[in-house]
């Protein structure tokens, strides 16, 4: 085998592995095993006080696909603004206490990020709704979600 080809093969393999990383704006580039995500799976409901739209109700239905959190979300606003919904994707940190997901909507390039820490009983998540995480659209809002 040609000496140039011998050193190109490992280089190509390293590049392929590097390009396969699943990164998101949620901040969890290295995702933990799906068993760590188990406490976050299910339906979560709560209220967010947004600076631009007032109070909003947020519902997230979180599942897992391999080591990724996936699911759907919906938000309704008390001020009559149009409801929003879409899919979510993200991950859980290595010790399983904190999750972060992007709330994606068709046609929106800058998804807000929801991050939260679960309580010991697995029934409540405290964190933030951050529209500024990807586009600088406003301040983060505190968030408390309850598992249904």
Q: What is the pTM of this model?
A: 0.75
Backbone angles phi, psi at 127, to 5 degrees: -175, -140
HSE, side-chain direction, 13 A CA sphere, residue 66: 6
pLDDT by residue, tens only, the chain of 148 residues: 554 434 333 333 333 333 333 344 445 544 444 566 789 999 999 999 887 778 999 999 999 988 889 999 999 999 988 999 999 999 998 888 899 999 999 888 888 999 999 998 999 999 999 987 767 667 789 999 999 9
Decide if 85 is inside a domain.
yes
Decide if 80 is inside a domain.
yes
Decide if 22 is inside a domain.
no
What is the CATH classification number for the domain harbouring 52?
Answer: 2.40.128.120
Number of domains in the chain: 1
Closest CA to 88 of 100, 101, 78, 98: 101
* Domain extent at residue 117: 28-147
DSSP 12-64: HHHHHHHHT----TTS-SSPPPHHHHGGG-EEEEEEEEETTTEEEEEEEEEEE
């Amino acid at each position: 085998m040609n000496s140039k080809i011998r050193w190109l093969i490992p280089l190509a393999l390293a590049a392929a592995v590097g390009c396969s990383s699943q990164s998101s704006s949620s901040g969890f580039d290295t995702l933990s095993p799906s068993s760590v995500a188990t406490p976050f799976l299910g339906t979560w409901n709560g209220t967010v006080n947004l600076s631009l739209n007032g109070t909003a109700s947020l519902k997230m239905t979180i599942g897992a696909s391999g080591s990724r959190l996936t699911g759907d979300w919906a938000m309704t606003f008390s001020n009559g603004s149009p409801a929003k919904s879409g899919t979510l994707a993200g991950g859980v940190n290595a010790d399983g206490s904190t999750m972060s997901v992007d709330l994606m909507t068709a046609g929106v390039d800058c998804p807000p990020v929801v991050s939260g820490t679960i309580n010991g009983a697995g029934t409540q998540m405290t964190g933030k709704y951050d529209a500024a995480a990807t586009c600088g659209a406003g301040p983060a809002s505190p968030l408390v979600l309850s598992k249904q």
